[in-house]
Structure 1
């Protein structure tokens, strides 16, 4: 009997879903949550034909240099800045992600985080728990309205459009900025107006970041951009932490140049900038925008489907549902020539 392909699962996921891999592969699964060191990832990949990984697992040229058997990596997440796609493509390794299945859940959370930020929900809870209610005054814990306000969306992809749809129920005016303008019909459908980057910051009452991270976007929201926001404005980030200069954000929040921020992502996560932890006008959540039970299960199921298909098995053999770097197949053919 021919040896079955080997698959590495980097983190504990839903066992009943990941168990489907055992129908086709020899599976080595990590049983506890681990922050794998780079050399540990390299060692795990060295004898693997495929891998199921999460955003916690950074994989680049160094990690795949000795992985002569590796053909596919299935990322559990729509974002993939943990993967060096050019390096994977050059090595003939196909990468996949899990888009679409988390769109509505993440949009729900983004809108909820924006509302919690504007209405000072977590600050109010802390104030109550600390026993300050007897010191209440008519001007205590006043926040900003959502209804009738101007929502700015930076990054009008699937999730950005989902947030725009939710804004319509609150009578919000929606402005957006994107790498490219949406078709007029899509703008009408979402009652959204395209504006320039600077105008988005200058006109938004509540600004939500939903754009993908790329090196050219590092600290896109810097001190200059933050200075364009009005003092009553809020900033919500459900995209990637590296988009914001967190020290500049702490400066703006501490000085009262920005009312509040809601952050689900951080540049050095799981470490958090201590200046943000010290501020009361920041709502902090641990990267859970896609964190509903149904959605997380759907993400793992899609990642498993991707890996099975990428390694040539199942009903979609050779055609994984969501490839990121189809050019890897060309490199793989050249490598095998």
Structure 2
């Protein structure tokens, strides 16, 4: 029986690759010893490209596949896909929204708590046998404090609901002002930062320029403030953040995303006032299974000529 061909930019988890291999003839670009030769071989016939939020699909890759009709992405973020180029060529794009919202919000709250209570450093001191020997500074509470959220989309709202359980005052900044939430809207990011204790970035990267959150925001957050980023590293002006952390311009940061992942700036590693995570916000068994299922559902719909379950459109793009 003939199998449709599928080019996978970077392999998905093994179990998901096995499920795809049962239905499609798979080619994995990142594992090919001669990727350019593979693209040239597939170019006359390949219709479908499967990628993820980190690998995306560049204009160069899209141009290498002139018969490409659809890009299916394992992840909600589409900033690594050249959407304008795809649209100009009539190529449809799908992602996997909604199913990862709760896990990403959970990690945002976890990072906020861990940064405020210095969980990682206290764990390290205890493991090193320094309990009772080292002087451990007092930390700060979370409950009752002020949380600022940049981007009140799916994830931002999920974070806000969780923060309410901690009796936090929730303020937000977004391109839109929403009438269906009780939270305080603030018109600028620096103004938002100046009025909160914790600033959490939840915005969609495709709707914000690279380095949009920089020194002005960090200075407004101030020496007692914490920054948490569970969106995309590109949104933050990373050199400005590093300089701010080095001079203790803010109290601390908790980051799940960075520029140049996974080869992050080594200056982060030497800083005691930053908590680092390897882009793991959606990395639970349950969510990754749901994401993979959506990828398969979109593929099934495409090949059967049905409506795509989660076709990405700019006016619906909310992180």
TM-score (norm 2): 0.89
Inter-CA distance 110–135: structure 2 relative to 1 (3 Å threshold)? same
1:152 counterpart = 2:148: yes
- Is 1:272 matched up with 2:268? no
**2:50 corresponds to:** 52
In 2, the alpha carbon distance for the partners of 1:287 and 1:34 equals: 22
Deviates more, 1:111-120 or 1:66-75: 66-75
What's 1:104 paired with? 102
Does 2:187 correspond to 1:196?
yes
Extract unaligned runs of 5+ from structure 1.
Answer: 328-337
Match for residue 181 of structure 2?
187
- Contact between 1:94 and 1:325, CA under 8 Å: does it hold in 2? no
How many matched pairs?
313
Deviations 1:166-200 (A, max 9, x none): 011111000000110112xx213xxx111122221
CA distance in structure 2 between the aligned counterparts of 1:80 and 1:162, rounded to whole angstroms: 20
Alignment-derived partner of residue 66 in structure 1: 64
Distance 1:50 1:228, change over 3 A: same
Q: Distance in 1 between matches of 2:271 and 2:312?
A: 38
Residue of structure 1 in register with 2:27 after alignment: 28
Question: Distance between the aligned counterparts of 2:129 and 2:260, measured in 1?
Answer: 33
Counterpart in 1 of 2:210? 218
Map of 1:323 onto structure 2: 311
Stretch moving more, 290-299 or 238-247: 238-247
Q: Assess, with a 3 A threshold, how the Cα gap between structure 1 residues 110 and 40 changes in structure 2: closer, same or farther.
A: farther
Counterpart contact for 1:238–1:289, Cα < 8 Å? yes
> Structure 1 residue 136: deviation in Å?
3.8
1:15: Cα distance to partner?
Answer: 4.8
* Alpha-carbon shift at residue 68 of structure 1 (Å): 2.5
The 2-side partners of 1:101 and 1:276 are apart by 31
CA positional deviation for 1:14: 4.4
In structure 1, the partner of 2:117 is 119
Distance of aligned partners of 1:37 and 1:321 in 2 relative to their CA distance in 1, 3 Å threshold: farther
Larger deviation, residues 125-134 vs 201-210: 125-134
Q: CA RMSD in A?
A: 2.6
1:239 is matched with which residue?
231
Q: Distance in 1 between matches of 2:293 and 2:130?
A: 47
Q: Is the deviation greater in 46-55 or in 219-228?
A: 46-55
Q: Distance in 1 between matches of 2:273 and 2:234?
A: 20
How much has 1:299 moved relative to structure 2? 0.4
Gaps of 5+ in 2: none
Alpha-carbon distance in 1 for matches of 2:3, 2:251: 57
> What does residue 4 of structure 2 align with?
5
For 2:38 and 2:140, the matched residues in 1 are separated by 46
Structure 2 SS opposite 1:81: coil
Cα deviation per residue 1:65-88 (whole Å; 9 max; x = unaligned)? 231322111100000111001111
Q: Deviations over 1:16-59 (max 9, x none)?
A: 544554565433357xx769998578558624221221123241
CA distance in 2 between counterparts of 1:40 and 1:241 reads 32
* Stretch of structure 1 that moved more, 217-226 or 100-109: 217-226
- Corresponding residue of 2:163: 167
Q: 1:87 to 1:37 in 2, by over 3 A?
A: farther
Contact 2:56 2:78 in 1 (8 A): no
Pick aligned residue for 2:287 from 280, 283, 295: 295
- Misfit runs of 4+, over 6 Å: 35-38
List per-residue Cα deviations over 1:68-114 (Å, max 9, x = no partner): 32211110000011100111112222110000000111111111011
1:217 is displaced (CA, Å) by: 2.4
Cα shift readout 1:187-224 (whole Å, capped 9, x = no counterpart): 13xxx111122221101101100001137521111112
